[in-house]
Amino acid sequence: MSIDTEKIRAGIEKELYVNKYNVDEHQSHLRVKDPEVCNKCEDKPCTYLCPAGVYVWESGQLTVQYSGCLECGSCRFACPHDNLEWGYPRGGFGMVLKMG
C-alpha cells in the first residue's frame, strides 16, 4: 500500500483555504536559528512535516512563509537539529479561530 502524498497535500491545501489569518507584516513568530545547519541537513523534514507548508526549500535556502502558519508547533519536533525557533504571534495576530 503506497501513500499518495500529492492527494494528501491537495486535501490539506483545500482545508487551509478556509482559515483566516491576521498577518503581522513586521514580525515573524518563526525563525531559523542558523541557516548553515539547514544547508547540511539531508532530509529537510521541516519542508514536509509542517501541515501548512510554511517551510520551503528554494534557491539553496530555507524560506519561512510564516503568514500561513497554523500555530500547531509541529515544526518544533520536525527539525532533528533543533534549529527552528517557534513562538506564538504577537497579540492580535496569527490564526483567527471561529467559534460555533
Tell me yes or no: is domain 28-96 CATH 3.30.70.20. Answer: yes
Three cell numbers written together for 89: 504571534
Stretch 23-42: mean pLDDT: 93
Which pLDDT does position 23 carry in this prediction? 86
The pTM for the full model equals 0.75
Which residues are within 8 A (CB) of 82 and not within 5 positions of it... i.e. 6 or more apart?
A: 33
Angle at 61 between CA 38 and CA 96, to 5 degrees: 90
d(CA 23, CA 42): 31
What are the structural domain ranges in the chain? 28-96
Percent of the chain predicted with pLDDT > 70:
78
| Cα 47 to Cα 71: distance, rounded to the nearest angstrom | 16
Calpha distance 97→77 (Å, rounded): 24
What pLDDT band is residue 24 in, cutting at 50, 70 and 90?
Answer: confident
Tell me what pLDDT residue 67 has: 86
Q: Give the pLDDT score at 45.
A: 94
Q: What is the DSSP letter of 85?
A: E
